[in-house]
């Protein structure tokens, strides 16, 4: 139960990130720089509070995990330019869930029974159907179709980064409290390397430190949930908060289009959430 609650903490905070960062403003460079700065501040506070032992392995894995995350988050912010928040959030979630579930099932052997396999496959069907519903709209012009393709390619890169960030911690069984500071450093280093040419040192980067603190709260919840309920379950539950960013994009960021498109996006979100919940049951 504790693991599920920790994963749901990540769901609420992470579900707000794309929406909050867009309300705070800035392009993807200033957003990722500010987010990682906020995450590092949070990590330092957590380290001073818990003072965990940090071995060379923890430092190495944590920093690399943070680098992977910075690639994932920057490209998720970048995908919003092509797709908007309402499409980016559910599509990104669907891709991440498929990727992390693959590792959880085939690498970490987290589905042990016939029932868990059946439920898990049903969950993946829901997730894929939901992602397709949120991304495919009939009658789109050539320009919008090209934007969709570009956004999808950016999301694939984002997904690879996110999967690497989660799987590395689980692979080496790194304690969540110990991972936070090395991850935070890796995130900042990755953000600086990816944005140094554009020098996004502006008010929007400063504002987005709030996004970083919000993300870090969910990250700690996920890291603590991983050893309790596994990758497939914890990460899946953590992603069900996409309804927050999707509804935020539709109704508060002026992304609403036709009623038909709105209902398709909402139905897609519902299917992804159902898939995430079903994946949670596979742990039982």
Which two three-digit tokens encode residue 217?
Answer: 């709260």
**What percent of the chain clears pLDDT 70, i.e. is strictly above it?**
92
Q: Is the pLDDT of residue 138 over 70?
A: no
pLDDT in tens, 46-62: 999 999 999 999 999 99
Which two three-digit tokens encode residue 87?
Answer: 């499409």
Give the pLDDT confidence score for residue 54 in this predicted structure: 95
Give the pLDDT confidence score for residue 255 in this predicted structure: 63
**Whole-number average pLDDT of the chain:** 85
Nearest to 205 by CA among 75, 17, 33: 33
Give the pLDDT confidence score for residue 230 in this predicted structure: 80
SS (H, E, C) the chain: CHHHHHHHHHHHHHHHHHHHHHHHCCCHHHHHHHHHHHHHHHHHHHHHHHCCCCCHHHHHHHHHHHHHHHHHHHHHHHHHHHHCHHHHHHHHHHHHHHHHHHHHHHHCCCCCCHHHHHHHHHHHHHHHHHHHHHHCCCCCCHHHHHHHHHHHHHHHHHHHHHHHHHHHHHHCCCCHHHHHHHHHHHHHHHHHHHHCCCCCCCHHHHHCHHHHHHHHHHHHHHHHHHHHHCHHHHHHHHCCCHHHHHHHHHHCCCCCCCHHHHHHHHHHHHHHHHHHHHHHHCCC
pLDDT in tens, 158-188: 999 999 998 999 899 998 889 999 999 999 9
Confidence tier at 257 by pLDDT (50, 70, 90): low
Confidence tier at 156 by pLDDT (50, 70, 90): very high
Residue-range domain boundaries for the chain: 2-281
Report the alpha-carbon distance of residue 219 to residue 176 in Å, rounded.
9
Q: Is the pLDDT of residue 264 over 60?
A: yes
């Amino acid at each position: 139960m504790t693991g599920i609650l920790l994963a749901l903490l990540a769901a609420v905070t992470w579900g707000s990130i794309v929406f909050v960062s867009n309300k705070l403003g800035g392009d993807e460079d200033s957003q990722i720089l500010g987010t990682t700065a906020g995450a590092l501040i949070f990590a330092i506070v957590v380290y001073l509070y818990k003072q965990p032992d940090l071995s060379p392995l923890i430092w190495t894995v944590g920093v690399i995990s943070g680098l992977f995350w910075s690639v994932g988050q920057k490209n998720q912010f970048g995908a919003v330019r092509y797709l908007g928040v309402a499409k980016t959030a559910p599509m990104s979630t669907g891709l991440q869930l498929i990727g992390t579930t693959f590792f959880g099932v085939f690498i970490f052997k987290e589905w042990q029974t016939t029932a868990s396999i059946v439920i898990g496959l049903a969950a993946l069907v829901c997730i894929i159907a939901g992602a397709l519903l949120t991304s495919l709209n009939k009658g789109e012009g050539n320009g919008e179709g090209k934007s969709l393709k570009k956004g999808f390619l950016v999301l694939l890169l984002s997904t690879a980064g996110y999967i690497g960030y989660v799987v590395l911690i689980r692979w080496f069984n790194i304690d969540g409290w110990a991972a936070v500071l090395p991850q935070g450093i890796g995130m900042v280093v990755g953000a600086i390397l990816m944005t140094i040419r554009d020098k996004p040192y502006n008010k929007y980067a400063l504002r987005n430190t709030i996004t970083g603190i919000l993300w870090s709260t969910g990250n700690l919840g996920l890291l603590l949930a991983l050893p309790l309920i596994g990758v497939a379950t914890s990460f899946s539950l953590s992603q069900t908060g996409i309804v927050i960013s999707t509804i935020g994009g539709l109704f508060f960021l002026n992304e609403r289009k036709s009623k038909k498109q709105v209902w398709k996006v909402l139905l897609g979100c519902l299917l992804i959430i159902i898939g995430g919940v079903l994946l949670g049951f596979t742990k039982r």
